[in-house]
């Protein structure tokens, strides 16, 4: 069945953006979008005079209604198109495939590799395709076929990070190969780590934290470490492997506690000698008294929280949270702040950190600042979507 093609007229003020390859398509770029209905339909972007500009696809996400695919009018959006894009991305990851110290990395990073809404991760030759919207999911058959033709794989799994009629999409994550016996273990810079690919949306291992784990391990020796929003505890494990004297991990879910215990037991670390709290990290911070001090504080808050008891938006509330964690850090201690918020870039993030210290009339020095990961390229117009981190020493 032929794919629906919608003509879409680009506003005069946005024509140059489209010609320059602006990947994210928002309704503000177009004269009219209410005729767009079918997820995965192709969009023929033109000027008011019918001059061709680009081809995209319709797929609603948090920040837009679709993504640009090509500025070549003769380009067919088919399996060959996806194969060429994925093959080019694989070629750019040759150093990762040849690195025996790293078993997990991102193979394809959305618009940074030419197809917004699509990511592919490698977990020791188990591959995970994540479809960020219903539109890109409609190309699933072509994408999976293209990937199968290009790689040697143990298995291929999928995650669908979108909802239909307000409900998460459920179904078997397994697509091809032989099912993994999860949890499985992989290596990351000499650190064994557990991961799952068949347990819902969560893998248990955030591969974007690869450098964070190395940084924590490098600086944790002889320090009491507090890991806030600790998730599956990989940073806690890194701290203990780096020689931390004790750790406190705080996260609201029982799952987080169980996964943290799993990670520690993998390294023959006695979880019963560490503090692992099932508690809202925001509450822990609010309730901390003046004597609650650590030598090394790690804080990785969610981008957005809205409950009856709490409303947190990183782009607004992160500076105040940083101030609170400064109070929890000994003078001379380390504070690692990291965020995945896609609404500001590294420069604005660093300004937030600076303002938090100045508000408290405190001084600091930068020990380490994150730079874009090679396997997580971003389109030049979407630099703010990258993860941002800094390690500072409170003076």
Q: Delineate the domains of the chain, giving CATH numbers in brackets.
A: 5-70 (2.30.130.10), 79-185 (3.30.750.80), 206-394 (3.40.50.150)
DSSP SS3 for 278: strand
CB contact set of 288 (below 8 Å; sequence gap of 6+):
324, 327, 328
pLDDT top residue among 45 and 308: 45
Distances (CA, A) of 46 to 15, 18, 34, 36, 51: 9, 10, 16, 15, 5
**Cα atoms in the Cβ-side hemisphere of radius 13 Å centred on 31:** 12
Q: Is the pLDDT of residue 55 over 90?
A: yes
pLDDT at 309: 82
CA distance 45 to 53: 5
CB contact set of 114 (below 8 Å; sequence gap of 6+):
69, 85, 88, 89
For residue 307, what pLDDT band results from cuts at 50, 70 and 90? confident
pLDDT at 170: 67
Q: Is the pLDDT of residue 291 over 90?
A: no
Neighbour-count burial of 255, counting CB atoms closer than 10 A to its CB (0-12 exposed, 13-18 middle, 19+ buried): middle
CA distance 69 to 54: 8
Per residue in 80-117, pLDDT (tens digit) is: 999 999 999 999 999 999 999 999 999 999 999 999 99
On average, the pLDDT of the chain sits at 93
Task: Kindly report the three-state secondary structure assignment for every residue of 221-247.
Answer: CCCEEEEECCCCCHHHHHHHHCCCCEE
CA distance 172 to 200: 9
Q: Is the pLDDT of residue 166 over 70?
A: no
pLDDT at 384: 65
Q: Is the pLDDT of residue 247 over 90?
A: yes
For 164, the token pair is 């239909």
CA distance 10 to 154: 44
pLDDT at 382: 82
pLDDT at 1: 63
Mean pLDDT computed over 268-289: 94
Q: Does residue 257 contact residue 276 with C-beta atoms inside 8 Å?
A: yes
CA distance 194 to 184: 6
DSSP SS3 for 279: coil
pLDDT at 386: 79
For residue 306, what pLDDT band results from cuts at 50, 70 and 90? confident
DSSP H/E element including 319:
helix 314-327
Per residue in 231-244, pLDDT (tens digit) is: 999 999 999 999 99
Q: pLDDT above 90 covers what percent of the chain? A: 84
Mean pLDDT computed over 63-72: 94
Residue by residue, DSSP assigns 64-81 as EEEEEEES-TT---SHHH
Q: Does residue 6 contact residue 31 with C-beta atoms inside 8 Å?
A: no
Per residue in 352-385, pLDDT (tens digit) is: 999 999 999 999 999 999 998 999 998 888 876 7
CB contact set of 35 (below 8 Å; sequence gap of 6+):
6
Q: Does residue 209 contact residue 228 with C-beta atoms inside 8 Å?
A: no
β-bridge partners, 118: 131
Q: pLDDT above 70 covers what percent of the chain? A: 98
CA distance 116 to 137: 12
Q: Is the pLDDT of residue 159 over 80?
A: yes
CA distance 379 to 395: 37
DSSP 113: G
Q: Closest by alpha carbon to 18, among 61, 60, 48?
A: 48
CA distance 88 to 101: 23
């Amino acid at each position: 069945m032929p794919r629906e093609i919608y003509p879409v007229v680009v506003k005069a003020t946005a024509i140059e953006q489209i010609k320059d390859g602006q990947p994210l398509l928002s309704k503000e770029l177009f004269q009219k979008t209410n005729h767009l209905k079918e997820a995965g339909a192709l969009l023929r972007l033109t000027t008011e005079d019918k001059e061709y500009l680009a081809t995209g696809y319709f797929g609603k996400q948090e920040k837009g209604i679709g993504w640009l695919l090509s500025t070549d009018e003769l380009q067919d959006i088919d399996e060959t198109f996806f194969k060429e894009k994925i093959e080019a991305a694989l070629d750019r990851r040759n150093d990762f495939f040849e690195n025996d110290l790293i078993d997990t990395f991102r193979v394809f990073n959305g618009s940074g590799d030419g197809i917004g809404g699509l990511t592919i991760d490698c977990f020791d030759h188990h591959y995970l395709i994540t479809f960020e919207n219903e539109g890109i999911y409609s190309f699933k058959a072509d994408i999976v076929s293209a990937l199968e033709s290009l790689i040697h794989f143990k298995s291929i799994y999928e995650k669908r990070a979108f909802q239909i009629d307000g409900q998460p999409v459920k179904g078997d994550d397994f697509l091809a190969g032989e099912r993994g016996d999860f949890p499985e273990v992989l290596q990351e810079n000499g650190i064994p780590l557990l991961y799952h690919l068949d347990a819902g949306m969560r893998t248990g291992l955030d591969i974007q934290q690869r450098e964070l784990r190395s940084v924590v391990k490098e600086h944790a020796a002889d320090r009491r470490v507090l890991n806030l929003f600790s998730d599956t505890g990989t940073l806690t494990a890194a701290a203990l492997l780096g020689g931390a004297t004790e750790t406190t991990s705080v996260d609201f879910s029982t799952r987080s506690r169980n996964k943290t215990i799993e990670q520690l037991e993998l390294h023959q670390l006695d979880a019963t000698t560490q503090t692992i709290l099932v508690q809202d990290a925001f509450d822990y911070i609010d309730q901390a008294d003046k004597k609650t001090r650590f030598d090394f504080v790690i804080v990785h808050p969610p981008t957005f929280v809205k409950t009856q008891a709490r409303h947190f938006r990183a782009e607004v509330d992160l500076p105040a949270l940083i101030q609170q964690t400064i109070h929890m850090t000994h003078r001379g201690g380390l504070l690692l702040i990291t965020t995945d918020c896609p609404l500001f870039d590294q420069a604005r993030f660093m300004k937030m950190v600076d303002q938090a210290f100045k508000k408290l009339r405190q001084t600091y020095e930068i020990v380490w600042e994150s730079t874009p990961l090679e396997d997580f390229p971003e389109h030049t117009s979407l630099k703010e979507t990258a993860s941002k981190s800094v390690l500072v020493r409170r003076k």
